[in-house]
Chain A
Amino acid sequence: MNIERGRPEGLHYFLVVATVFALALVLNAQVTSDRIARAADEPQNWLTYSGGYASQRHSLLKQIDPGNAKNLELKWILPDQVFGAWQSTPLVANGIMYVTQRPNDVLALDAKTGRVFWQYRYTVSPEARVCCGSNNRGVAILGDTLYMGTLDAHLVALDATAGRPLWNVEVGDPRLGYSITMAPLIVKDKVLVGVGGGEYGIRGFIAAFDAKTGKEIWRFHTIPAPGEPGSETWKGDAWKTGGGSLWVTPSYDPATNQTYWGVGNPGPDWNSDLRPGDNLYTDSVVALDADTGQLKWHFQFSPNDTYDYDSVQVAVLADLNWRGTPTKAMLWANRNGFFYVLDRTNGRFLFGTPFVKVNWASGLDAKGRPIATPQPPGQPTWPGNQGGTNWYSPSFSPSTGLFYVSAWENYASIYRKEPAAYVPGRNFPGGGANPVTPVPGAPGVRIGRTTPINNWTDAVGKGTVMAIDPQTGQKKWTFQQYDVTDSGILTTASNLLFTGGREGYFYALDARTGAQLWKTSLGGQIVNGPISYAVEGKQYVSVISGNSLVTFGLRE
């Protein structure tokens, strides 16, 4: 802007306007918990891991729709500088995207062009150990501060403008196998996070930290100590190494002030004989008061689990007219192969049915407890070790009323139990699981794709996007892929569904019918959930494929 000389009033006017404008920017940049609670009011942003406290991964943006999805085109690519599966979900606030990359880097970039503002590199302690790769799934934002959990189980606060650390606190001891891979959740003035390490005999916990100072406010152990409620589900000292890790971001209902956490497998993973009892709160959802960490209710999906059926799925919250009754529901497709509808105010089981082939249980009883049918040693168990689904995010569309999930079909494992001796910081498996393959020694489905060749083929498992009607558990439609898929799902208010898979195809489907409207071949495996946002009135969709963060918009 040019300011004419000799017109001080003009300059004055400019300064006032500039100041107001700058102030507005600063205010606008302050992400509050209240804004996250009303994320629907600002669909141009993606303020928390699952897009909102209800974790529906449903964008209200409608500019891209079934009619024009064919006009999607590449806008920009950000290549990662490290190798390995990139599972992060970016956040977008006011046109700036924040994304983590391995092992614990954070990048801030222009969401319109992909150009990077800053990069923060956290040095992970060599003591860190994780079972399944140096994963990180993203940051949380509050005010102008970002929060990241680290592989060595620290929580780091960063200045979102400068990319510099503000504080750093130890959450768990990495030498004992504690780690953090999930994106934290902000509720009010606290940062909530849980620890991973379910393969190392940890005793899992969730903790809340003061967002300003990093001071710990409360802690809830997912494995109760003797005398605490739930301790009757453990015998002897098994609780000390009972697992119960947390590695996906919880959901939150401001109306009840409850946070909902999916809890991981018991330890040792595969030998339930070493830990008799139901092993609460492993493989459960726990509802915790956001202010105090007090347990409000729990529901256990897989008691005394011997199949590694972590319940680390994102709890999807939906207000439904469920079978004629207004219901504050929680929708959950579990790794154990069952789809559940719960009353999220009290944890009451409303309904459950398998969504993939299941033979470890013959069904669920009236309270939702599985009727166990363990298979003879050496015989296949469905679903296999990675489950009917896993950590990757599902979606719920209030527009279609359908729940969408990436599932693995035709996939089984043969489990074995072995003795397990706990050595601090060492793997504590108690057995193992091998995917059922058509011939011995053939490649089974791995945790991720690392080669461009699918050498396990559909003989070992295949991926399906399922649209499930929460009223009945029936599949309204399915979308088949050849390889399995670990892609999350995004739906939009314009009835689009975006998802990918290990093959590197990125699809836009009609959320009502499953019809494919658009696809592109990105090459690298998609193991995160797509997001949508808008900058300067233009809608974008971002997804990570292989080592590239890729963003699409409509052709102009």
Chain B
Amino acid sequence: MPFTNTGLAAWISCLLIATAVPAGAQQLLNQDHPGQYSQEDIAAGNRVYNAQCTLCHGRDGDQVSGVDLRRGVFRRANTDEDLARVITSGTAAGMPPFRLQPSDLTGIVAFIRAHFDTTAAVRVGDAARGRAIFEGKGTCSTCHRVNGRGPRAAPDLSDIGVARAPAALERSIREPSSALMPIHRPVTIVMKDRTIIHGRRLNEDTLTVQVIDDKERLLSIAKRDIEVLDVSTRASMPAFADRLTADEIADTVAYLLTLREP
């Protein structure tokens, strides 16, 4: 697997972090749930963020390349402690160290962990039970891939715990079509030579579209070769609102939040 320099550095730093945080790692991850930060901390963090961070990171947290604070995408931080260290120590890439009051530092970490959502509130259950549901009753793993296991038909969920806030995860489970990200919409492509391609959209621009097809092939297709490009707003995944209980959904959300592989 090819690594970019940045990817390699992030990978190495993850290794270092994994070594530095041995037994308590799972516990730290559990503490990363946005639901477990207080509204006061998140609101305080929002204020600090607006005053101190927007200069470089922007209002949406995505103005530094490779970093998307709102969606929990970092270059070199996994845990709350990592975030706090980067904020107080700065980075070699040019981020200066910030001297913050402990309450402000707690707040800014909470605000980032809450995906900038100062109103987030959703029930998070038990991750171990959630994993059993994911791989058993829920049949999630028959389509979704996690940490290198499972098919690629549906989006890989290995890092869904950093990419999505709990409320969005819950909505995706209950009623997938109501939460289907536009970029992931199922596509059916009829080529000018009458070949038909079924797949999931990965990217699109004025002249081309990139899909992973139902044979798990990555295809980049020039639009000039396409007769019909049909993009569906209906998710291929069934709705689980009636298939799982509220407790089971809360457990599944908890499990998904632990999926944080870079």
Q: Which residues does A use to contact B, with CB under 8 Å?
A: 82-85, 126, 128-134, 151, 425-427, 437-443, 446-448, 450-460, 480-483, 501, 503, 505
Contact = CB atoms under 8 A, between A and B. Distances in A.
Nearest to B167: A441
Which of B58, B167, B179, B183 has the largest count of A CB atoms less than 10 A from its CB? B58
A83 B64 contact: yes
12 contacts: A132-B54, A132-B58, A134-B56, A426-B50, A438-B180, A439-B182, A442-B181, A447-B59, A450-B65, A457-B182, A457-B204, A501-B206
Q: Which of B167, B177, B207 has the most CB of A within 10 A?
A: B207
B204 A438 contact: no
A441 B165 contact: yes
A75 to B, nearest CB: 24
A505 B60 contact: no
Given A126-B96, A480-B206, A483-B205, A453 B183 contact: yes
Contacts of A84: 56, 63-65
B62 interface: yes
Contacts of B203: 452-454
A446 B62 contact: yes
A482 B206 contact: yes
A453 B208 CA distance: 12
A165 B151 CA distance: 60
B233 interface: yes
A313 B177 CA distance: 39
Contacts of B168: 440-441
B64 A453 contact: no
A440 B181 CA distance: 9
Nearest to A84: B63
A128 B55 contact: yes
B181 A439 contact: yes
Contact of B62 (A134, A450, A480, A483): A450
A459 B182 contact: yes
Given A439-B178, A440-B171, A131 B59 contact: yes
Q: With a 10 A CB-CB cut-off, give which of A130, A134, A443 has the most chain B CB atoms.
A: A443
Contact of B182 (A126, A131, A456): A456
Contacts of A452: 203
Interface centre among A85, A450, A480 (most CB of B within 10 A): A450
B182 A460 contact: yes
B198 to A, nearest CB: 18
Q: Taking each of A151, A427, A452, A460, which has the highest tally of chain B beta carbons within 10 Å of its own beta carbon?
A: A427
A356 B53 CA distance: 34
A409 B203 CA distance: 20
B51 interface: yes
B50 A427 contact: yes
Contacts of B58: 131-133, 447
Contact of A438 (B206, B207, B233): B233
Contacts of B55: 128-130, 134, 151
